[in-house]
């Protein structure tokens, strides 16, 4: 089933082929509630990924790697803390990896289940994904846009730092919202 966006049809599945994530046209974002009153946003600026598709909604495999040292929350002091042993421990665990294990079509796109590894700990996570569209660019490349969202508990990955306000609010919430905006180029 496809829906119209202007005159262009938006596919419900990634078209068949191998697609390489283009980091210039993509973002890996996260949000954490700070002191219980505001969401602090951050991104990872160095990442790569691949999507392999048969053209069917459930016929997709996805994988990706994030270089943890590239974390950027617009605060160098906070970024250094995130890179340290209290959080990601970049010196010993420089990468975050993801490998899909199952893709299930649903009413809004697909549910992506996969193994996420942070700090050497692998847990299954679930993301909701939707194809945003496909296009041929002016240089002869085929491109696909994919958006994926999900929530994880940071403590599942031994990110246990916990400081609280005098009233008991956590400086950093346990729940972390993830948003991936992926523009990928067909490579095969």
pLDDT digits (tens, 9 = 90+) for 108-161: 888 999 999 999 999 999 999 999 999 999 999 999 999 999 999 999 999 999
- Encode pLDDT of 90-112 as tens digits: 999 999 999 999 999 888 888 99
CATH of residue 119? 2.40.128.110
Q: What is the CA radius of gyration of the chain?
A: 18
Overall domain count for the chain: 1
Domain housing 122: 3-186
User: Per-residue pLDDT for 83 more than 70?
Assistant: yes
pTM comes to: 0.90
Q: What is the DSSP string of 32-74?
A: EEETTTEEEEEEE-SEEEEEEE-SSTT-EEEEEEEEGGGEE-S
Residues 162-169: what's their mean pLDDT? 92
Neighbouring CB atoms inside 10 A of 31's CB total 17
């Amino acid at each position: 089933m496809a829906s119209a966006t202007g005159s262009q049809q938006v596919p419900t599945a990634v078209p068949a082929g191998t697609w390489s994530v283009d980091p210039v046209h993509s973002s890996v974002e996260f949000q954490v509630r700070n002191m219980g009153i505001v969401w602090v946003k951050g991104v990872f600026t160095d990442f790569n990924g691949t999507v392999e598709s048969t053209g069917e909604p459930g016929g997709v495999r996805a994988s990706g790697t994030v270089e943890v040292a590239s974390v950027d929350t617009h605060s160098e002091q906070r970024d250094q803390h995130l890179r340290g042993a209290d959080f990601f421990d970049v010196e010993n665990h420089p990468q975050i990896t993801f490998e899909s294990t199952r893709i299930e079509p649903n009413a809004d796109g697909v549910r992506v289940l996969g193994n996420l590894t942070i700090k050497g700990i692998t847990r299954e996570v679930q993301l909701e994904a939707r194809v945003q569209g496909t296009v041929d660019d002016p240089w002869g490349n085929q491109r696909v846009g994919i958006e994926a969202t999900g929530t994880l508990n940071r403590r599942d990955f031994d990110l246990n730092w916990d400081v609280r306000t005098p009233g008991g609010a956590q400086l950093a919430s346990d729940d972390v919202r993830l948003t991936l905006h992926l523009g990928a180029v067909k490579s095969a």
